[in-house]
Amino acid sequence: MGRMLAVALAQRGAQVNLFEKGSASADLSAARIAAAMLAPLAESAITEDNVVRMGVHSLPRWKEVIEDLSTPVFFQQKGTLILWHRQDASEADRFTSHLERNSRNNQQLVAPQKLDSQSLRDIEPSVADRFTQGLYLPDEGQLDNRQLLDALLIELELLKVKCHWNTSAEPEQLRADGGYDWVIDCRGIGAKAAWQADDASHNPLRGVRGEVVRLYAPEVNLQRPTRLIHPRYPIYIAPKENHIYVVGATEIESEDLSEVSVRSAMELLSSVYTVHSGFAEARILELATQCRPTLKDNLPEIKFSKEKGQTGLMLINGLYRHGFMISPAVMDCALELLDEGNSKTATDLGLRVNKVLGTQELSLCA
């Protein structure tokens, strides 16, 4: 979010300084570990309608954002494939009914398509020998998150944004130092103190642990992100370029950043093998963990304040597991707030925006 906003503001002619606790490689960020799937209908099974609307808004915006960059970024919009084993058919029926109901209630969502053996073979022939039915969600997509981070880094250099890598910075100190019209805080879980609730014993911002495996599987040729309905949690397989696959699923209420557990590794790896036998000879490139920045209700939020004669402050957080799916929508709302002090886009999409007035907050958007 920080890199995207820095680039967008610099492209509009602003003078921008970027302060980052980590390195230019973004090795400490949740964004580097993510699978970067853009799947509003699939996510509608577990999230609120306003997040789905932000995802729908963001899909075409991602194309525009990427086209404005000097470096190409892998972007794909071939839909999402949902698969399940026979023993999970009842759970698949519930999942399908949920998505069908959501698509009926939101005309912007394209209804899921049920696949029989032949139509599954037509769409994804490499899994047709193991599965006889599935669900296809048209129009959904994905991008390569690491390519995007690198492309944004190049753009920052071309736009002559002054970047302070490996530099911790407190927004309030930057405001006090002066010289800025606005300070924008996009620190994820690093901003916990800034999101402290009125009750000092309870902090509404938390980290939710995720575990991801990156594989090199030259014998596998999945064409689109594939989700496997699983007894504990839906497992996703996101195919990137050059036979790289990002596999994940876990959501653990913990800020533990230690290595991937044996249980999670075994479940993820055994599950992908049941999807395609070619994963048996895949090479494990990386086992990684990170924590998604999550607010109390699992929804994103923008807080901002701008008093006459003072440096403005904007805080953006709570993108949770939907960061890439909704980032362009959140960015568009933030840019409108910077320009106008309010955001029609935020109102339309249901992004919560709070204007901070001293110790009080005024909710502008539900």
Which pLDDT band holds residue 304 (cuts at 50, 70, 90)? very high
Handedness of CA 89, 40, 20, 199 (dihedral sign): negative
H helices then E strands: how many in the chain? Answer: 11, 18
Residue 361 has pLDDT above 90, yes or no: no
**Which residue has tokens 């920045």?**
293
Domains annotated for the chain, with CATH where assigned, are: 2-29+145-193+298-365 (3.40.50.720), 80-138+206-294 (3.30.9.10)
Residue 105 has pLDDT above 80, yes or no: yes
Span 227-247, pLDDT tens digits: 999 877 789 999 999 999 999
End-to-end CA distance of the chain: 21
Is-contact 56 179, C-beta < 8 A? no
* Mean pLDDT confidence for 48-67: 97
Span 10-43, pLDDT tens digits: 999 999 999 999 999 999 899 999 999 999 999 9
Residue 112 has pLDDT above 70, yes or no: yes
DSSP string for 89-109: HHHHHHHHHHHHHHHHH-TTS
**Which residue has tokens 């960020």?**
29
Look at residue 275 in the predicted model and tell me its pLDDT: 96
* Mean pLDDT confidence for 258-286: 95
* Mean pLDDT confidence for 75-91: 96
Mean pLDDT of the residues in the chain: 93
Which pLDDT band holds residue 309 (cuts at 50, 70, 90)? confident
**Residue type, position 201, single letter:** S
Task: Count other C-beta atoms under 10 Å from residue 260's C-beta.
Answer: 18
266: Cβ contacts below 8 Å, ≥ 6 apart = none
- Nearest CA to 185 out of 8, 353, 18 is that of 18
Which residues are 226's β-sheet partners? 81, 237
- Nearest CA to 245 out of 1, 37, 28 is that of 37
Handedness of CA 319, 325, 331, 334 (dihedral sign): negative
Is-contact 311 178, C-beta < 8 A? yes
